[in-house]
Amino acid sequence: MKKAALALTVILALLMSVAVGTQVVMPANANFGNMVEIPPPSGAEPPTISIFSPEDKVYTARELPLVFNVGEGTYLAPPEQIISGRPRVYCKADWNQNETFVAYGSGSYSINLTSVPNGVHYVSVRVTQTFLYDNRSGVVYSFNTENQSAVRFTVDSTAPLVTILLENKTYVTADVPLRFVVNEWVSLSYVLDGKENVTIDGNVTLTGLSDGEHNVTVYVQDGAGNIGASETINFTIAQETKPETQQSEPLSTTAIAASTLVAVIIGVSLAVYLTKARRTNQKPRNNQSAIQNAQD
């Protein structure tokens, strides 16, 4: 009867181990009727975990693979006295509340992390493994080993923002200041009139602009590699034209002769006028002298 009960117990243990996916090495004289749970004894090694992806760096994608490897735990005891369960693998992402069961067993795993929010995150992998140990004293000891590993990484899928302060208007100078505001940046550049991309360290002045219509776009790149572009600003250059100083040309010989003739005519006319005026002023005086002579 006792042998039948022991056989039934062993069969049930085997069925349970198969159900949970354990690999069993049966002790020769294991007594499953007396089982005691104990802390992991000295010499018991937990399962190993190696996380390969993601790494501690910045990603622009919000979908990342979680790639890791799980190795079996060990306990330094005669093999015929050990029943070791298969590792149970779990993972936990900080943006999810619950831990997720992955699978039983050692080996390589790859899990796709989707819809990862922007920011700094942690993903952890936890592995537990159960051992049954028969020390040939009629008691079977049970203990669990556990290991956990985590990785830190950052997701930044948002492009930086840049706003140009240059106005869409007409400028009367060939030198126009290019001012802008950014929320984050590692490198800056601008493209003027669709030409080459010019790297800059900050605000600059566009110099030597020709008259006519122009356009400019500023680009900014952040530490994650995201590139943001400003609105393309159109503006016009129309420089003020200063009137040239007109220099007097030397008079020609004909002009000089004409000027001299005019001066002579004016002089003669003035002389004739003065003569007539003098004679007019003298006539009354002569008449008075004649009258005086006649009276005498």
Q: Indicate whether this model's pTM tops 0.85.
A: no
Strands 204-206 and 100-104: unpaired
| Sequential pLDDT tens for the chain (296 residues) | 444 344 334 434 543 553 344 444 444 444 555 788 999 988 899 999 999 999 999 999 999 999 999 999 998 877 778 888 899 999 999 999 999 999 999 999 999 999 999 999 999 999 999 999 887 777 888 999 999 999 999 999 999 999 999 999 999 999 999 999 999 989 999 999 999 999 999 999 999 999 999 999 999 999 899 999 999 999 999 987 655 544 545 555 655 555 665 555 666 565 555 566 565 555 544 444 443 443 44
Q: Which of 101, 260, 53, 6 is nearest to 14 (CA)?
A: 6
For residue 246, how far is the Cα from the chain centroid? 58
- Do 151 and 166 fall into the same domain? no
Per the omega criterion (within 30 degrees of 0), is the bond before 41 cis? no
Boundary-marking domain end, from 95, 127, 155? 155
Domain around 81: 2-155
**Are residues 175 and 64 part of one domain?**
no
Asked if residue 180 and residue 125 are part of one domain, the reply reads no
How many domains does the structure of the chain reveal? 2
Q: Dihedrals φ, ψ of 283, to 5°? A: -60, -45
The answer to whether 157 touches 170, Cβ cutoff 8 Å, is no
CATH code at position 49: 2.60.40.10
Residues 196, 59 share a domain: no
User: What are the angstrom distances between the C-alpha of 111 and each of 52, 63, 65, 125?
Assistant: 12, 11, 6, 11
Instruction: Please indicate, yes or no, whether residues 31 and 92 belong to a single structural domain of this protein.
Output: yes
Domain co-membership, 91 together with 211: no
- 279 phi/psi in degrees, rounded to 5: -65, -40
On whether the CB atoms of residues 138 and 156 are closer than 8 A, the answer is no
Query: Do both 71 and 127 map to the same domain?
Result: yes
